[in-house]
Structure 1
C-alpha cells in the first residue's frame, strides 16, 4: 500500500513522495480504552527508541541533576528546586498517590494555576501508573464534574479553597473519587479524605521504593499517561489520550525544531503562566522542560491581569510563548504607554519601529538599507522597550493555539521581535509544524517537525486542502469515544485535522481556515473567514474582534467588538475604550471614550470610519461574494467569562452564533 506523504524537514525542503505506509494489520494505530496500547508510528524518518516519561526524566536527572529546574515565589522571595530534588519530589508524590489508592490507568485531576505542585502532581501521577488530567481553573463545578467523572479521577489536586469549593459541590457525584489534596492555603473545611500538601506528601512514608519501582517498570511507551480535554465548543469535551511516546518524542523533537537548546549547550529559561490543561503549555512548560533541562519560573496567578511582565523582568526568559491574545494585550499596553508619552518619545518610537519593520520585512535584500540606522534605532529605542517587557535576553518568541494576525506580527517585527508560529492540536500532542530562527516565513506556521508527515485531501484549485497528520505526535484516540475516534482517522491511519491549509514549494505551511468554520454561501462559494476577519482588524485598529457571518446566507455580514479595558480581577471587558481606541476616535472626529457612547448613540464619525475600513476590505475581495454587506458593533467585547472565548482566549464561534443569534437574524 502506498500514498503520497509530504515529508519535509529543516534540512530537506523537497517533498519525499511515495514513502511506504506501515502495515496496519499488525496492530491498531488507535484505541479508545484508557488501558489500551497502540502500534507506535515508527519508521525511518523517526527511528528514535521509544521511552517512558520516567526514563526521560531519569536521563535528565543524570545530566542536569544539580541545575535549578523550578523556581517560584514565596513571601516575595524566589525558591528553587534542582532537577535531582524535582525527581525525588515526584517519586514522593507518586508514593503518596499509591497510598491514597490510585489505581493503574485511573486519573489524578489537577485544578489550579501553574506551580511546582502542579508539575510534581502531574509527573508523580505518571510515575504511579495513573493518568495526568488537567482541569481548567476557569471551569464551573458542572464542567469539573464532567471531566473528573469521565476520566474516573481517583484523586483531585486543587490549588486553593476557591477551587476546592467546586469539588465539594460535586464530590458525592464522583463515585471513583477517593481523596482531594489542596496545595495552597489553609484548609477551611474538615473532611476525612481532604489533605494539605504537607499531609499528602507525608503519606509517601508508608510506601516502599521497591513497590514504586515495580509500578514504574510495568509502564510501556505505547500506553496512555496523559489526558487532554478539548474545549467542547461543539458538544461535550473529548478526552485526548496521549501515550508516553507521544509525550517524550514530541518533547524531544518538536522543541528542537523550534531551536530550544539542551542545558549542556544553554539552559533555557521560561515563564510558566498559560493553562497547563492545554497541550501547548503542558508540552512547552512541563515535558520539554524535563527533557532539555530548562529552568521554569512560575508566574503569579494574576499573571494575565497585569503581573506577567513583572515576572518576565525577574526571570529574564530566553524563550517565551504566548497565545495570540496575550501578544495582542502586550501590544495594546505598549501603544497606550506610547500615546501618553511626550511627542518626542512618540516620534522616536515611530521612527525606530518603521525603520526596523522595513528592514525585517525585507531581510532578503538588506543591502538596500543602511544597517547602521536600524542598529542605532535598536540601541537607542527598541532595546529599552524589550527591557521594559522582560525580553532583553529572549531569543525565541512563540505563538500557538490560534491564528495570529498580520498586524500583531508586524508590530513585533517593528520591535525587532520575530514571533515564531507553531501549528498542531491536542490530537498531535501539540506542535506538528514549527517555526524557528532558521525556519521562518511571515504569516506561515513553519515546516514539519522532522520525522512528522502531512498530506492534503480534497484540494481546491489554489492548493488548499484538509490537513492530515502522521507521526509519533499523533494521539492514541478519544477516551471511550469510538465513533468520534473513527471519524478523525481514515482507513490508512491518517489523522484528519479539520483544518484547511496549503504548503508552498519550500515546505512552509499556511493554515487558511477550518472546515467546520468554512462559510459556504447560498450561492455555493466557499469562504474561509479568518483572512477577511484579519483584514478588517488590520484596517480598523479600534476593532478587537471580528466574526464573519454568512453560512448558507445570501451575503456576508459581520459582528464587531471594540477594544476596551478589562476588570483586572475578573478579566471582564469594561465600557471604557482603550487608549488606542480613543486615539482612533479622535483621529476620525469623535469625542467618545466609552463603547456605550459609540453603540448607544451610533456615533456618526466612528460608524462612518468603520464603514470606510470595511469598504477597503471589500475592495481587496477576490469576488463579490466575499464582500461584507452588513455589520454591527456589539455592546461588549468577547471574553472567557462571557462565554465567547475558551481558556486560551481563542474565540468560540458556535457560542458566538448562539449568543448573538438575534443580531445575526437582523442582518437578513
Structure 2
C-alpha cells in the first residue's frame, strides 16, 4: 500500500489505497445541483404563491400542455426568459458542436487506452467520426424520430454512436448494461429502435434472444471484440463506419438542418423501480442550455484558457454521465479519458492517478468504497501513525467546517497538515489537481462527507433528475453545507409545494432544463408536470434560511403509521448506518403498523464478476468486530450465531438513534439482521444503488410479518429472544 507523510516526524503515514476495490459498485448516476436563488432575495425564500406568480409571468400565455408532449415527433414551447441566461438563443446539438469546433477543433477531445498507450482524437476528428456514423445510420435505414439503442461500457464508439444517431435525425437511447433480455426488449420496442449498438458478445446475446420480437430492428452493430459468428445485418464497428461512405453530405445536412431545438433528440429511461421504465424525452434545448447554465455555474474553464480533464466511467445510460462526459466537455472543450471496463472492480484508482482529472463525479458508493479502503489500510499502522492521522483529520474537519460557514482563516496547523498530509492524500488518490469533486444520484451519509472534508477534499452534492436533464441544484466551494445539495443553477427555479409546519414539502422545478414529457405516456406526464408547468419531483425537501436545499425523503417512500404519522424513512436509515458502521443497508418498515421496525444488512465483500454479496465481511467490518471483542470474519458468523457483541452494538446504536427521535412513533422498536446484503444482482438495488423498497418488502415478507405477529409482545430486542 502507498503511504503518505503525516507530520513533521519522519515515517509517519496516513494510508492511501493503491487499488481501491469498487467491485460491487454498478452505478448510474443522477444528481444533487447552484448559484444564488433566482427566486430569493436577501436570503428569503419566496412563498409558493409568489413563486407561481413569478413563473406565470415568464411562461408562455398558451395552454400549459404546450410545454410538454408525449409524441416522438412532437414539439414543445421553450421556457424562454426575458433576461439572463434563460434568454440565451436556443440551439441544436449540431449547432453546439459546430461552435465548439471553431474554438477547440485542434484540441484533444477523446482519449482511449490501448495497451499502455493513450490513443487520442481531436475535436475535428471526433466530429468527422460522428458524421460518418450518422451517414451509416442513414444507410441502414434509421427513420426520423426512431431509436438507436446503445448497450455497453463507456467508449469513444458509445459517444460517436450517440451523437451520430442525433445528427441522423434519430433518438440516442442508452440501455443499462445490467438489463435482462426482456428489459432490453422493452426499451427497444418503446423507442422504436431501428438499430442497436452493443459492446460485446455478452450484450449481443441478450439482443439475439429477443430479436424476433423487434420487427422495427434493422441492424445490430458490435463495437468491441471480434464477432463470434456472422449473421445477416450484424456488423463490426469498422464495417458499420464504412457503410455510409456513399451517402452524400447534402443528404445528411438536409436532415441536420431540419432539426429544431424544441424537438426530442435523446431518450433517458428510468430504472423502473416502481413500474415499467419511462422514456424521458430530452430536447436539443434541454441538453444544450443545461450544459451552458450548469457549466458556467460550476465555473468550468474553456480549453483555450485551461483544458478540463475528466474520466468517463459512470453508466452512460443515465443523463448525469451524459451531461458530465459528453455535453459539458463539447461546450467547454474538455478532454475525456475513458476508464477501463473493470473500473468499478478496482482499476478506477489507477486511471485517476494516471489522468489526474480536474473534475470528478462519483456516486455515493464510489466515495464510500474509497473511504472504507482507506480506513481498512489505516488499521494496520502503528498507534503513533494513527494518532498523527487523527490529528490531521481533526484539524482538516474543523477548519473546513469553519470555511463552510464563511471563515477565511487558515490556521498554521492546517497549513502544516496540508503540506504534510492533505496534498499527499490527494496525490495518492489522483485528485491533486481536481478542484471539483461531486456526488449525486443517491443519498450520501454525513459521515462520508465529513471524512473527505477532514482530508481537505470537499465533496459537493448535486441534485436533479433525468426529467431535469441532470442537475437542478449544485453545491459550490464557496456555497455549500454538509448534507445540503446546494442551490439552483442559474436560470432555474425551485418551489416547495404544500410545505408542512417544518417547511418540508414536495420539491418542484421550473426552467429550460425541464423535459418534454414521457414517450407515449400521457397520464404519467400529466402527473409529473402540473398545469402551471412545474415539474413535481416526488422528493420531499426544505430550504434553510440561506436558501440551501435539503432532501428529506420521497413521497412514495413515506411510511404512514397506524396512528397516522407520516415518517420519511431515509433520515432514520442514515442515522442508523452512521451510528453502527458495520451496517451496509438499512430499510425501515411499518406502513400502517403500530410501530417501526428495520431490516439490516452487514458490510461484506462482493464477487467482482457476478456482483453478488459474499459471506466474508469487509476488512473494515472485521476491524469493527475486533474492537467489540468479536472474532467474526463472516456474515454467517454474526447472523448464524447471533454474535452477542455485534448484536449488542447494533442495539446500542439504534437506542442512540431512538433518543434523538422527534416522537415515539419515529422510534425503531424491532430489527433483524439479514443473511445477505442487498445488491443490484439480487434485485434489491436499482442501477443507481437506490433501494427498491417494494421488491425488498415482498422478498422479506416473512421477516416483516414476524415483527408484527404478536404486537403485544413487550420483548422487542432481538437479544432477548
What TM-score, normalized by structure 2, do the two folds share?
Answer: 0.90
2 CA distance for matches of 1:10 and 1:308? 40
1 CA distance for matches of 2:180 and 2:420? 48
- Greater relative contact order (Cα 8 A, min sep 6): structure 1 or 2? 2
1:28 pairs, out of 61, 66, 71, with 66
2 CA distance for matches of 1:123 and 1:133? 10
The answer to whether the 8 Å contact 1:240/1:475 transfers is yes
SS of residue matched to 2:67: coil
Q: Which residue of the partner structure matches residue 528 of structure 2?
A: 488
Q: Summarize deviations over 1:576-603 as a string: whole Å, max 9, x none.
A: 1112111111111111011110000000
Q: Which residue of the partner structure matches residue 42 of structure 1?
A: 80
Matches for 1:513-532 after TM superposition, within 5 Å:
513-532=553-572
Q: Which residue of the partner structure matches residue 3 of structure 1?
A: none
Tell me the CA shift for residue 366 of structure 1.
8.6
Q: Does 1:506 align with 2:543?
A: no
The answer to whether the 8 Å contact 2:60/2:79 transfers is no
Tell me the CA shift for residue 394 of structure 1.
0.7
Q: Summarize deviations over 1:473-506 as a string: whole Å, max 9, x none.
A: 1000000011111111211111111111111222
The answer to whether the 8 Å contact 2:40/2:547 transfers is no
The answer to whether the 8 Å contact 1:306/1:568 transfers is no
Q: Summarize deviations over 1:9-38 as a string: whole Å, max 9, x none.
A: 899855564421423426711100011000
Aligned residue pairs, count: 663
The answer to whether the 8 Å contact 1:457/1:468 transfers is yes
Tell me the CA shift for residue 101 of structure 1.
0.5
Cα separation, partners in 2 of 1:370 and 1:71, compared to 1, 3 Å: closer
Which range moved further: 481-490 or 19-28?
19-28
Q: Does 1:354 align with 2:354?
A: no
Cα separation, partners in 2 of 1:509 and 1:366, compared to 1, 3 Å: closer
The answer to whether the 8 Å contact 1:52/1:221 transfers is yes
Q: Summarize deviations over 1:21-73 as a string: whole Å, max 9, x none.
A: 42342671110001100001111351010000000011011101111111111
Q: Does 1:413 align with 2:453?
A: yes
Q: Which residue of the partner structure matches residue 38 of structure 2?
A: 8
Q: Which residue of the partner structure matches residue 265 of structure 2?
A: 225
Q: Which residue of the partner structure matches residue 105 of structure 2?
A: 65
Tell me the CA shift for residue 346 of structure 1.
2.4
Tell me the CA shift for residue 381 of structure 1.
2.1
Q: Structure 1: where are the runs of 5+ without partners?
A: 1-5
2 CA distance for matches of 1:358 and 1:328? 21
1 CA distance for matches of 2:509 and 2:529? 10
Q: Which residue of the partner structure matches residue 637 of structure 1?
A: 677
2 CA distance for matches of 1:77 and 1:301? 16
Q: Which residue of the partner structure matches residue 573 of structure 1?
A: 613
Matches for 1:124-523 after TM superposition, within 5 Å:
124-363=164-403, 371-523=411-563
Q: Summarize deviations over 1:521-576 as a string: whole Å, max 9, x none.
A: 11111111111111111111111111111111110111111111111222221111
Tell me the CA shift for residue 653 of structure 1.
1.7
Tell me the CA shift for residue 470 of structure 1.
1.0
The answer to whether the 8 Å contact 1:24/1:492 transfers is no
The answer to whether the 8 Å contact 1:9/1:448 transfers is no
Q: Summarize deviations over 1:440-490 as a string: whole Å, max 9, x none.
A: 121111111111111121210011111111110100000001111111121
Cα separation, partners in 2 of 1:58 and 1:43, compared to 1, 3 Å: same
Q: Which residue of the partner structure matches residue 97 of structure 1?
A: 137
Tell me the CA shift for residue 415 of structure 1.
1.2
SS of residue matched to 2:194: strand
Tell me the CA shift for residue 347 of structure 1.
2.4
1 CA distance for matches of 2:537 and 2:406? 38
The answer to whether the 8 Å contact 2:312/2:339 transfers is yes
Q: Which residue of the partner structure matches residue 667 of structure 1?
A: 707
SS of residue matched to 2:551: strand
Tell me the CA shift for residue 510 of structure 1.
0.6
Cα separation, partners in 2 of 1:212 and 1:366, compared to 1, 3 Å: closer
Tell me the CA shift for residue 382 of structure 1.
2.5
What TM-score, normalized by structure 1, do the two folds share?
Answer: 0.97
1:55 pairs, out of 82, 87, 95, with 95
1:558 pairs, out of 591, 595, 598, with 598
Tell me the CA shift for residue 338 of structure 1.
1.2
Tell me the CA shift for residue 368 of structure 1.
11
Cα separation, partners in 2 of 1:13 and 1:267, compared to 1, 3 Å: farther
The answer to whether the 8 Å contact 2:39/2:493 transfers is no
Cα separation, partners in 2 of 1:507 and 1:264, compared to 1, 3 Å: farther
Cα separation, partners in 2 of 1:80 and 1:9, compared to 1, 3 Å: farther
The answer to whether the 8 Å contact 2:200/2:222 transfers is yes
